[in-house]
Amino acid sequence: MTDLATPTPSAAPKVIPVGRTRVIGYITAGLGLFVLLAFGLGSSGNAHSVLTFTPVNTSTNAPWSIGALTVLTRYWNMAAGLIAIAIGVHMIVRRPAKGAMVRFGVAAILFLFALLLWAGRDPGPSQGLHVNLTSILIGSSALAMVLIYGALSGIMCERAGVVNIAIEGQFIGGAFFGSVIASTTNNFLLATLAGAVAGALLGLVLAFLSLRYLSDQIIVGVVLVTMMSSLSSYLNLQVLSPYPNLNTGNLASNIAIPLLYKIPIIGPVFFNQSGFFYFMIVLVSLISFGLFKTRWGLRVRAVGEHPKAAESVGINVIRTRYINVVLGVAIAGVGGVAFMASQGAFQVGYTSGLGYVALAALIFGRWRPSGAVSAGVLFGISAYLALNLQTYNIPISTEILGMFPYLITIAVVAGLVGRVRPPAADGQPYKRD
Amino acid sequence: MTENMADVLAQADPGSPVERRSLWTRFSSKSPVVLALLALVLGFLIGALVIIFSTNTVLDAWRGIFSSWGAPGHALKVTFDNVGAAYRAMFTGSVFDPSQFWHSIATGKQWDNTLTPLSETLTYATPLIIASIAVGIAFQTGIFNIGANGQAIMGGIAGASIGSMINMPAIVHIPLTLAAGIVGGMVAGSIPGFLKAYTGAHEVIVTLMLNYVIAFFLVFVLLSTPFQLPGQSNDISRTMHSSAQLAPLFGAASGLRVSYGIFIAAAVVYFAWWFLERSSLGFDFRITGNNPNAARASGINARRVIVVVFLISGGLAGLAGVVQVSSTTHYVDGNFLIGSAGIGFTAITVALLGRNRPMGIVWGSLLFAALGVGGRNMQAATGIPLDLATIIQSVVVLFVATPVLVKEIFRLRSSSAQGIQLATKGWGS
Amino acid sequence: MRIELRGITKRFGSFTANDRIDLVVEPGEIHCLLGENGAGKSTLMNVIFGQLQPEEGEIVIDGETIKFANSGEAVRRGIGMVHQHFMLVPVFSVAENVVLGFEPTKSFDRLDRKKAADEIRRVSKEYGLEVNPDAVIEELPVGLQQRVEILKALSQDAELLILDEPTAVLTPQEIEALMAIMRSLAKAGKSILFITHKLKEVRAVGDVITVIRQGRVVGSVPPTTSEAELATMMVGRDVKLTVTKEAAAPGDEVLEIRDLVVRDDRGLAVVNGVTLNVRAGEIMALAGVQGNGQTELVEALAGMRRIESGTITVRGRDVTNNKPREMLDEGLGHIPEDRQRNGLVLSMSVADNLVLNTPRRAPFARRGTRNLDAVEQNARQQVKDFDIRTTSTRELVSSLSGGNQQKVIVARELSRPLAFLVASQPTRGLDVGSIEYVHRQIVNQRNEGLGVLIVSSELDEVFALGDRIAVMHEGRITGVVDATTSRETIGLMMAGASSQSAHD
């Protein structure tokens, strides 16, 4: 048999534009320089910070304890700054083709760590308040969990080619109905179900308008958020206010996993959490496995990348998208319930843009569940610190701290879009010819 | 198929009832105004449903529907009473109150009371028109500026500062205050502009996040000298000098708040029309919005266009903010343009409703301003929350963004699936 | 497999794309479907492949009447298709693409990647189509991607293989190899439906040639039919395949490209040291298979792509890395390859499109304000001069036919003072009348002393227009020859041979 006598151009090596790696390198190095100057040299030479690892307010009464760790603030922070600078310089000079985001993430974690040491330094404004790492991680994990739910929702939709920018609105819907059901039945399983159903219905609206009527997905998303926030505000005044027992705000109790929760430091963070946390982990594994290992995932990704090719081998593009959007938005609804279950009674506007941050986490995580987890953790810690750093009496106003998570989101999006590649057909209406 | 059949029949047999319907369909499927009106009808219908399902007396009446022969009628009556009362309050609060009107006609007095609703609607519409033009111009260029609200806040802060902290004659002070507002908005708008132009960051996320950042910034500024009202611990700014205020059109004694700001809005509308239809730069913008590739090939500098669009859009949004301040409260506080007062968000819906065309935006602004003002009256009169107005607005826009759905609901012939002239693409662009 | 189409009719609204088409493909037969762009070939293929449902008529396979609801059913019935625009997911591996839709699985719906790879190796071996199952599609050259498309069809046990314009992206040598594969597949009993608009190819490979025109079958003829006869059948009248043109009288050099290096979006140097010049009053035709850097070269000339190294000189002025605006001001006329993407704004009027890149030039605007009267007047003039068929100058360009859309661009570019003209695939997808017209206009400009660079992957066009012919392969110019050079030589040069070795 004849072979195609191709004068073959040597198979194109995969080249990523290097410009952005350098930009991210500069940002990383800048971050490191800031750590070095502000948190390192900005702490007096004799200052020290105390790190503790025993969660406060723990009801489990851990039988273990790790002593406090006292560190010299200035030198630890200088080290952190230097490491970040080194990472940045390496990216500027060597321009590695992969892992720019991971490197940036490491530098960001170093930044947050140094910030904590600096905030808790003694002598300093906090007068030696201990930095309780475990408590901080526990507090952050609640926010990270919600962000991951949101990002997973986005992954489900966008891997199939539908942009879901309305995660914020879906959080609101889930939180509202979750709170009502949780308050009336005191059953978080039912509340979760209610949130999922509310989400699924919202997903159906998004899918219906963008798939059947080819409406602009971003406009529909933005309007859906407006609608959900006004609807929730309306119902809050009309229904929840007159009947406060519909919105009592009971928090989901933690389920300690025997033995494991006793592991120092990470035990209380990972193994003494509410059911929503464990469910999130199950979802991450399921979606990760499903997308990249199964027939279902291959087809979903084909639909999101090249719907015509999928259609040409008999895959029903529209149906796949419907299913994914409805399931995906249901996940965001559950995320809303999870938020409610960790923050308390529904209040108007209390998701404060978390849904959009989740969207940024999705981009930062390159449309992968594992990436969404890393991004969710990073953003979760930043958001938590923005809310809680004030306890250290640091000389930065609450308002400026509050801007932080949003500014980081902007920085991430500005640094990364163009580098990361969304599913090729993401957001594009599809019509069979 | 059947629709086409109807047309064929109509042509064959003029004067048959089919023809009238055909005329009607032809008229309506081509007219965006009719589409918007139909969407409005749907919006009010869904609003009515929301009222019904959230009002106890109505639900009780329906629950008792099988209790007696008169019950269904009673339930209907209760429903109509409640929904009717809400929408009546909306109307009387935003347009005019007939009884008050006749009273004025009969006695020749209390014209101020009669005209107050209209005046309020115009007062609310004035900055809304400007903000919506800001969003609309960006839309025409293919750019989705969701940050108009934050830009308007920045404009308000800048305007309130210039208006309250320096003293000069009104002839200089008012323009200077307005200019400060424009600059404030431009500063906020330049951030997403530059980021999109030079890093490719998607403007939707950046502007959304900036709205939150600016909301924090607002409180931060209002709590720090020299912006904070001296002797106050609340987040409130100094009051603008009267030389910087946009005076009420009919004098302060009239009690009507509608101000000279409407002339500014009119000027902005004219500017927008000229810019989009007649100016070379606007032509560039429209080419970019409709086909960025062709724009590039035609020698249009895409980056420059993006930055300039955001400067113009942000500047106009800032102008909206300062007009809002200097014609109503004359000071800025922590609730400025927050929540349901966020004209920057309403502006997005108005721009979509008005199809980004200046005159469409004027009508859309008047309509949504009336909904907002009327909603406040409804809340006062019937206790139904003002948010209902926002719900109706978003439903209207969802339908306007999905013209085919509206046509299907009203069984109109669907000419083609023409969406809104806007292409927000995925994350790459 | 024997497939028979009986009276297939397919309409889109009021437009009839296929009108009562009858066609029979016997087992082991290579059946060519010949027709112009827009004759309805692709529509017919999509009907056979189940992607479109016909309004009338039936498809009979081995005596059984079949109705396909979607292409998956067609594939299951033994029909395979190699699309003109490959139906391959660029980020997937070869194996993933081949099994997509028919994936072998293990428990829990898991993909059985090993089984998939084995299957591919088996089919590759059987038909001699070597390809690495783990390679990622977007990293493969076009020829190999096409091979994957064929594999994909064969691995579903296709008995009828539809090849939709498969040669557009191949070099003459690759085309030869493809034809060899087609013949051997036919010998193995597969039926092949080969769609093309190239006369030489159908005569070289076909057993039967069916010509369609404007959605109707004109007739079926044997491959011995002459090219002229086939052409007449295709377009419905006698056509001149060449433009009559006088000998060129070249003047000074207007455009000089020296050692140009340009990278594509992926960062590869797809233009890799191109040196080329164009003189006033001559047409330089740049031949080459698509995707050998022509697109990027033209983009660099238009100022739309950054130049890594090398220089471009226009009338002695260095214009390297000028911005698009500056290039237009230097007198660049540009008829872009993808007119709807780069040349027109479909949602704007004919009048506006006629001033798309000169909106600020007097008299169309003064001090930032457009003069709409002048724009309108210009439009009326151009519509008249260039015979643009439109109901009004206010008509949206999207409602014009392809030929008239191209005329809008040609009118716009040729009506302003130019230093040189770059025309990229200027007649792609046009009907014969429009092709003649566009060619005539270009030759007229050249006669009046304009330097012209034509980029075309159609050899016929290259020979019809070129005074000199440059051939591009893998980012380099393999040679510049005069227009009397033989097709075979040019073909070899398109495959990478230098002009000397190609002559030998």
- Residue ranges of the domains in chain A? 20-129, 134-380
Q: Provide the shortest C-alpha distance from residue C364 to chain B (in Å).
A: 9
- Alpha carbons A180 and A190: distance in angstroms, whole number: 10
Q: Provide the shortest C-alpha distance from residue B405 to chain A (in Å).
A: 7
pLDDT at res. B413: 61
Q: Do B387 and A237 count as a contact with CB atoms less than 8 A apart?
A: yes
Average pLDDT over residues B131-158: 94
Q: Do A360 and B205 count as a contact with CB atoms less than 8 A apart?
A: yes
pLDDT tens-digit map of B337-383:
887 678 998 999 999 888 889 999 999 999 999 999 999 999 999 99
Chains that touch C (3 or more CB pairs under 8 A): A, B
User: Are residues C358 and C318 part of one domain?
Assistant: no
- Alpha carbons C32 and C209: distance in angstroms, whole number: 5
pLDDT at res. C140: 83
| Identity of the residue in A2, A298, A315 whose CB atom sits nearest the CB atom of C184 | A2
Mutate to test the interface with A, among B60, B83, B216 (most CBs of A within 10 A): B216
Q: Do B427 and A219 count as a contact with CB atoms less than 8 A apart?
A: no
Q: Do A353 and B208 count as a contact with CB atoms less than 8 A apart?
A: yes
User: Are residues C319 and C369 part of one domain?
Assistant: no
Domains and CATH numbers, chain B: 116-384 (1.10.3470)
User: Are residues C64 and C41 part of one domain?
Assistant: yes
Q: Residue B210: closest CA among chain A residues belongs to which residue?
A: A406
User: Are residues C168 and C287 part of one domain?
Assistant: no
* C-alpha of C154 from chain center: 26
Q: What is the ipTM of this complex?
A: 0.84
When pLDDT is cut at 50, 70 and 90, the band that residue C237 belongs to is: low
User: Are residues C251 and C290 part of one domain?
Assistant: yes
> CA Rg, chain A, in Å?
23
Cβ neighbours of B291 in C, within 8 Å? 341, 344-347
Residue bearing tokens 């109505």: B58
Q: Residue B421: closest CA among chain C residues belongs to which residue?
A: C347
Cβ neighbours of B345 in A, within 8 Å? 226
Q: Do A312 and C81 count as a contact with CB atoms less than 8 A apart?
A: yes
Average pLDDT over residues B103-112: 86
Inter-residue contact C9 to C159 (CB < 8 Å): no
- Alpha carbons C356 and C256: distance in angstroms, whole number: 27
C182 domain residue, yes or no: yes
Take residue A208 and report the two structure tokens written for it. Answer: 């219906």
Q: Residue B214: closest CA among chain A residues belongs to which residue?
A: A403
User: Are residues C231 and C324 part of one domain?
Assistant: no
Last residue of a domain, one of C382, C401, C416: C416
Last residue of a domain, one of C355, C381, C416: C416
Q: Give one DSSP letter per residue of C321-360, joined into a string.
A: T--HHHHHHTTEEEE-SSIIIII--TTSBHHHHTTTT-TT
Q: Do A349 and B339 count as a contact with CB atoms less than 8 A apart?
A: yes
Sign of the CA dihedral running C85, C86, C88, C93: negative
User: Are residues C425 and C359 part of one domain?
Assistant: no
Residue whose C-alpha is closest to residue C277's, from C314, C237, C249, C224: C314
| Identity of the residue in B390, B419, B424 whose CB atom sits nearest the CB atom of A218 | B424
- Alpha carbons C40 and C19: distance in angstroms, whole number: 9
B413 has a chain C CB within 8 A of its CB: no
Would you say how long chain B is, in residues? 429
When pLDDT is cut at 50, 70 and 90, the band that residue B335 belongs to is: confident
pLDDT at res. B19: 38
Q: Do B294 and C328 count as a contact with CB atoms less than 8 A apart?
A: no
Number of cross-chain residue pairs from A and C with Cβ atoms under 8 Å apart:
135
Q: Do C105 and A294 count as a contact with CB atoms less than 8 A apart?
A: yes
C437 domain residue, yes or no: yes
When pLDDT is cut at 50, 70 and 90, the band that residue C236 belongs to is: low
pLDDT tens-digit map of A292-309:
999 999 999 999 999 999
The full 3-state SS of C471-483, as one line of letters, equals EEECCEEEEEEEC
User: Are residues C421 and C380 part of one domain?
Assistant: no
Residue at B416: amino acid letter: S
Residue at A334: amino acid letter: V
Residue ranges in chain A whose pLDDT is less than 70:
1-20, 56-66, 416-419, 432-433
Give the lowest-confidence range in A270-274, B125-129, C234-238: C234-238
C145 contact partners, CB below 8 Å, separation of at least 6: C86, C88, C137
Cβ neighbours of C45 in A, within 8 Å? none
How many other β-carbons are positioned within 10 Å of the β-carbon of residue C459?
18
Cβ neighbours of B219 in A, within 8 Å? 399
User: Are residues C168 and C158 part of one domain?
Assistant: yes
Average pLDDT over residues C267-271: 84
- Alpha carbons B292 and C327: distance in angstroms, whole number: 18
Judge residue B99's burial from the number of C-beta atoms within 10 Å of its C-beta, 0-12 exposed, 13-18 middle, 19 or more buried.
exposed
Q: Do A306 and C70 count as a contact with CB atoms less than 8 A apart?
A: no
3-state helix, strand and coil shares in percent for chain A, rounded to the nearest 5: 65, 5, 30
User: Are residues C198 and C99 part of one domain?
Assistant: yes
Judge residue A427's burial from the number of C-beta atoms within 10 Å of its C-beta, 0-12 exposed, 13-18 middle, 19 or more buried.
buried
How would CATH label the architecture of A134-380?
Orthogonal Bundle (1.10)
Classify A3 in phi/psi space as left (phi over 0), alpha (psi -120 to 50) or beta: beta
C324 has a chain B CB within 8 A of its CB: yes
| Identity of the residue in B280, B286, B293 whose CB atom sits nearest the CB atom of C342 | B293
What is the end-to-end Cα distance of chain C in Å, rounded? 45
Q: Residue C340: closest CA among chain B residues belongs to which residue?
A: B294
pTM of full prediction above 0.80 = yes
pLDDT at res. C98: 93
C337 domain residue, yes or no: no
- Alpha carbons C347 and A176: distance in angstroms, whole number: 43
Q: Do C71 and A314 count as a contact with CB atoms less than 8 A apart?
A: yes
Cβ neighbours of C108 in A, within 8 Å? 294
pLDDT at res. A134: 87
Helices (DSSP H) in A208-244: which residue ranges? Answer: 217-235
How many Cα atoms sit within 13 Å of B50 on the Cβ side? 29
| Identity of the residue in B54, B220, B345 whose CB atom sits nearest the CB atom of A238 | B54
Give the lowest-confidence range in A356-370, B160-174, C485-499: C485-499
| Identity of the residue in C326, C343, C370 whose CB atom sits nearest the CB atom of B294 | C343
C155 domain residue, yes or no: yes
Is pLDDT at B59 greater than 90 in this prediction?
no
Chains that touch B (3 or more CB pairs under 8 A): A, C
- Alpha carbons B340 and B348: distance in angstroms, whole number: 13
pLDDT at res. C485: 86
Q: Do C266 and A315 count as a contact with CB atoms less than 8 A apart?
A: no
DSSP conformational letter for A259? T
pLDDT at res. B5: 37
C90 has a chain A CB within 8 A of its CB: yes
Average pLDDT over residues B159-187: 95
How many other β-carbons are positioned within 10 Å of the β-carbon of residue C278?
27
C3 has which bridge partners? C25, C61
User: Are residues C62 and C164 part of one domain?
Assistant: yes
Mutate to test the interface with B, among C326, C370, C424 (most CBs of B within 10 A): C370
Q: Do C268 and A15 count as a contact with CB atoms less than 8 A apart?
A: yes
pLDDT at res. A417: 58
Number of cross-chain residue pairs from B and C with Cβ atoms under 8 Å apart:
69
Q: Provide the shortest C-alpha distance from residue A227 to chain B (in Å).
A: 5
Residue range of the domain that includes C313 = 240-331+417-504
C432 has a chain B CB within 8 A of its CB: no
Average pLDDT over residues B263-287: 94
Write out residues 285-304 of C within 8 Å (CB-CB) of A.
none
Q: Do B301 and C345 count as a contact with CB atoms less than 8 A apart?
A: no
- Alpha carbons B395 and B47: distance in angstroms, whole number: 9
Chains that touch A (3 or more CB pairs under 8 A): B, C
Give the lowest-confidence range in B125-134, B194-203, B262-271, C209-218: B194-203
> Which CATH number belongs to the domain containing residue C430 in this structure?
3.40.50.300
Last residue of a domain, one of C416, C445, C465: C416
Q: Provide the shortest C-alpha distance from residue A273 to chain B (in Å).
A: 30
* C-alpha of C320 from chain center: 29
pLDDT at res. A279: 96
A128 has a chain B CB within 8 A of its CB: no
User: Are residues C207 and C257 part of one domain?
Assistant: no
Q: Do C139 and A12 count as a contact with CB atoms less than 8 A apart?
A: yes
Number of cross-chain residue pairs from A and B with Cβ atoms under 8 Å apart:
162
C345 has a chain B CB within 8 A of its CB: yes
